[in-house]
Amino acid sequence: MTSLIPSAPSRRSVVKAAAVTAVAAPALAAAASPAAADSSAPAFLHGVASGDPLPDGVLLWTRVTPTPDAVPGSGKGPDVAVYWEVAEDRDFARTVARGTATATAGSDHTVKADVRGLRPATAYWFRFTAGGTVSPAGRTRTTPAVDAAAPGVRFGVVSCSNWEAGYFSAYRHLAARSDLDAVLHLGDYIYEYQSGGYPAEDQVVRRHEPLHEIVSLSDYRTRHGKYKTDADLQALHAAHPMIAIWDDHEFANDAWSGGAENHTPETEGAWAARVAAGKQAYFEWMPVRASTEGTVYRRLRFGKLADLHLLDLRSFRSQQTSVGNGSVDDPERSITGRAQLDWLKAGLAGSDATWKLVGTSVMISPVAFGALPAHLLEPLAELLGLPKEGLAINVDQWDGYTDDRKELLAHLTQRAVQNTVFLTGDIHMAWANDVPVKAATYPLSASAATEFVVTSVTSDNLDEMLKVAPGTLSVVAATAIKAANRHVKWVDMDHHGYGVLDVTAEQSQMDYYTVSDKRRPDATSAWSRSYRTRKGTQKVERVYAPVR
């Protein structure tokens, strides 16, 4: 139930107030509630979050632990009434909305409130109460009005956060920033592997739960719950609204519509049951609006400045083919599915926003070795059954589904769609790319868009997977990639961190930040590089300072 009210109830103190958030965002901390001393009282052990902001609303989230045995995935614990409130100030003296919900075992005691009736482009505070216990307070922000000429929008951008591979310091540094409108999470928010499966046993920094590979609904709930005990993750969710999509590890490695590389039906059951469990837990535990189709592709608007098109590149894709196999060009194979691709094309062509941002979990820019001149490559590829754009490195990306990419980029050029920027994660490296219509002849041929790829929060990069010193192989590999792919302007294979995307009427700029050591919980953060694309150019260029 949602209620808009003109005045606030008396201020309540906050339980556990967040020793969690005090370091990263001191404004979020408050005094502890007396109920915290009562072990039988409901508790908010997994923080609070908001997401999918709109001009008039936002989605609020929390998880209540009604009794000590009602741990995530247990199915235990009674129903509990939860009261939520939204205010213009952190003291909750000017409450503008409130309502109630019920946390039940059927939803793993998670609670969502889709609040409407708020003002555009406005910061708010929110909190929950259950059985006299008050949650930590969070802050959120609505988006500009649909037709507003917004002067700018700024996102934190993250991807690939593996619990066992390190600490989430990148989240802490983003939580400490007060200049973000939202955080965009591009997938692999959790990982499904058994403990010591990835990274290897001797590289595990901390143990996740459960220790076995997650397959059942209880397993996925438990893993999500473990992640949301992380102090830095709680701080991030409490500080900024999150806009999230999934990739494969929310389910299983290299997932596609009918299975996954890391799924064995003989021992792990039907893929449909496993993916259904993963999706249910995801929508329960994430501040994301669930669609009736059970997907995450959707569109958010930031005034007339930017439309953000978010993709689901796992639910509808064809099975991956092998490297070097010409079937990557098969028009019957798709990474998006027909309906989603048509939806994306229509949204891009019909947008009146200056910038068309596309959140894609895997890289769209072609990356190939052995590229030949176009007049030789195409006939040779046809004769030998090879990909027409060269030998793809990663067929889990759009490189494995070239007909979809060709159709989308042709649509952008034929419809004169300007200022499209793909925002990408997945590959544990940072990239800045032009997106060429024909890679083999670039830069003599056109660029249809640009792409900024952020590195991982913690997941292993090339050097770590091969267990060599940073830079041992990455410098050679990066040089080879840039030589064979002239649209790739920069690639960093060594670091972990995050991005900050600053969008104005004249340019979109990605500032890349790295953390000092993912294996240390107190890791520092430093600016690394910046690239931008100016309005109307469809090309990236290096900038020698971050946006301030």
The 10s digit of each residue's pLDDT in 99-108 is 999 999 999 9
Band (pLDDT 50/70/90 cuts) for residue 324 is low
> Does 288 lie in the same domain as 223?
yes
Region 312-317: mean pLDDT is 98
Nearest residue to 481 via CA among 522, 536, 427: 427
User: 288 vs 476, which has greater pLDDT?
Assistant: 288
Nearest residue to 302 via CA among 190, 147, 78: 147
- Of the chain, the percentage scoring pLDDT greater than 70 comes to 88
Cβ atoms of 151 and 447 within 8 Å: the answer is no
Kindly tell me if the per-residue pLDDT of 20 is higher than 50: no
- pLDDT in the model for residue 483: 86
Kindly tell me if the per-residue pLDDT of 8 is higher than 80: no
* Cα dihedral across residues 145, 150, 154, 159: positive or negative: positive
Region 491-502: mean pLDDT is 96
Residue 436, class by beta-carbon neighbours within 10 Å (0-12 exposed, 13-18 middle, 19+ buried)? buried
Q: Is 123 part of a structural domain of the chain?
A: yes
Kindly tell me if the per-residue pLDDT of 16 is higher than 50: no
> Does 422 lie in the same domain as 278?
yes
Distance, CA of 521 to chain centre: 21
Distance CA 396, CA 403 (A): 14
- Of the chain, the percentage scoring pLDDT greater than 90 comes to 80
Lowest-pLDDT range, 25-29, 273-277, 515-519, 543-547? Answer: 25-29
> Does 392 lie in the same domain as 247?
yes
Last residue of one domain, picked from the residues 141, 176, 195: 141
Query: For residue 519, how many C-alpha atoms fall within 13 Å in the half-sphere facing its CB?
Result: 7
Region 222-243: mean pLDDT is 98
> Does 360 lie in the same domain as 413?
yes
Last residue of one domain, picked from the residues 115, 141, 167: 141
Q: Is 90 part of a structural domain of the chain?
A: yes
Region 237-250: mean pLDDT is 98
Distance, CA of 37 to chain centre: 36
Last residue of one domain, picked from the residues 83, 110, 141: 141
> Does 304 lie in the same domain as 163?
yes
- pLDDT in the model for residue 462: 78
> Does 132 lie in the same domain as 75?
yes
Structure tokens given for 34: 């007396």
Q: What are the backbone angles phi and psi of residue 373, rounded to the nearest 5°?
A: -55, 145
In the chain, % helix, strand, coil (3-state, to 5) comes to 25, 25, 50
Domain region containing 165: 153-543
> Does 172 lie in the same domain as 58?
no
- pLDDT in the model for residue 466: 77
Q: Is 548 part of a structural domain of the chain?
A: no
- pLDDT in the model for residue 38: 61
- pLDDT in the model for residue 221: 98
Q: Is 391 part of a structural domain of the chain?
A: yes
> Does 275 lie in the same domain as 218?
yes
* CATH code of the domain in which 46 resides: 2.60.40.380
Band (pLDDT 50/70/90 cuts) for residue 34 is very low
Q: Provide the 8-state DSSP code for 77.
A: S
Q: Is 148 part of a structural domain of the chain?
A: no
- pLDDT in the model for residue 385: 53
Q: Is 416 part of a structural domain of the chain?
A: yes
Helix (H) or strand (E) holding 459: none
> Does 428 lie in the same domain as 488?
yes
Lowest-pLDDT range, 345-349, 390-394, 399-403, 466-470? Answer: 390-394
Distance CA 526, CA 524 (A): 7
Region 402-410: mean pLDDT is 97
- pLDDT in the model for residue 392: 66
- pLDDT in the model for residue 473: 74
Region 404-428: mean pLDDT is 97
Distance CA 420, CA 202 (A): 42
Number of domains observed in the structure of the chain: 2
Kindly tell me if the per-residue pLDDT of 292 is higher than 90: no
> Does 121 lie in the same domain as 174?
no
- pLDDT in the model for residue 519: 97
Q: Would you tell me how many other CB atoms lie within 10 Å of the CB of residue 80?
A: 20
Cβ atoms of 57 and 115 within 8 Å: the answer is yes
Distance CA 282, CA 248 (A): 12
Region 339-344: mean pLDDT is 98
> Does 159 lie in the same domain as 125?
no
Q: Would you tell me how many other CB atoms lie within 10 Å of the CB of residue 212?
A: 11
- pLDDT in the model for residue 48: 98
* CATH code of the domain in which 281 resides: 3.60.21.70
Q: What are the backbone angles phi and psi of residue 175, rounded to the nearest 5°?
A: -60, -30
- pLDDT in the model for residue 548: 79
Kindly tell me if the per-residue pLDDT of 388 is higher than 70: no
Kindly tell me if the per-residue pLDDT of 439 is higher than 60: yes
Kindly tell me if the per-residue pLDDT of 26 is higher than 90: no
> Does 194 lie in the same domain as 133?
no
Distance CA 307, CA 310 (A): 10
Predicted confidence (pLDDT) per residue in 123-174, tens digit: 999 999 999 999 999 999 999 999 999 999 999 999 999 999 999 999 999 9
Distance CA 369, CA 480 (A): 8
Cβ atoms of 292 and 279 within 8 Å: the answer is no
Band (pLDDT 50/70/90 cuts) for residue 464 is confident
Q: Is 147 part of a structural domain of the chain?
A: no
- pLDDT in the model for residue 21: 33
Region 227-245: mean pLDDT is 98
Q: Is 489 part of a structural domain of the chain?
A: yes
Structure tokens given for 277: 């469990």
